Amino acid sequence: MDLKITAAVDTETGAAKAVLDRQRRKRIRPSTLGADKGYHSKDFVAHLRRRKIAPHLAMIDGRKTPGLDRRTTRHDGYAVSQRKRKRVEEIFGWIKAYGGLRRTLVRGLGRVQLHAYLVGAAYNLLRLARLQPMTG
């Protein structure tokens, strides 16, 4: 998982492109990318297609987007991706509710980004603790 904090005036797709660039530098090359309706745009779908990433984006009814059509959405992987999105949204809910990112107390993108990394690490520790078998 990767987090990127941006200014409120920046677009979600711009932040996603930056995260994909950062992952590429780490030699991580995803084959699919699942996202909500906020990412359903021609520019972003074309960006994913150029990088050979299948766009598993939630579709906006009535919007025709080249590269995001029945050829992509008919596969079982697309349906699985859409179900997994719920788990990711639950993580963001936890980050906002318990991690303090709904209304942060720090100012500046750098400090908020650091806060987000710390909250993400705390969530990962919470998940690891739940994976441990009970000894008793």
The domains found in the chain, sorted by start residue, are 12-131 (3.30.420)
**pLDDT tens digits, 70-115:** 777 788 888 888 888 888 888 889 989 999 988 888 899 899 999 9
- pTM recorded for the entire structure: 0.72
In whole numbers, what is the pLDDT of the chain averaged over residues? 85
Which segment of 21-25, 47-51, 63-67, 82-86 scores lowest on mean pLDDT? 63-67
Pick the closest to residue 113 from 127, 101, 129, 96 (CA basis): 101
**Residue 11 scores a pLDDT above 90:** no
Task: Decide: residue 6, CB within 10 A, 0-12 exposed, 13-18 middle, 19+ buried.
Answer: middle
**Residue 118 scores a pLDDT above 90:** yes
For residue 77, the model assigns a pLDDT of 84
For residue 122, the model assigns a pLDDT of 92
CA dihedral 91, 96, 101, 102 (to 10 degrees): 150
Q: Quick one: pLDDT band at residue 4, thresholds 50, 70, 90? A: confident
**C-beta of residue 124 within 8 angstroms of C-beta of residue 115:** no
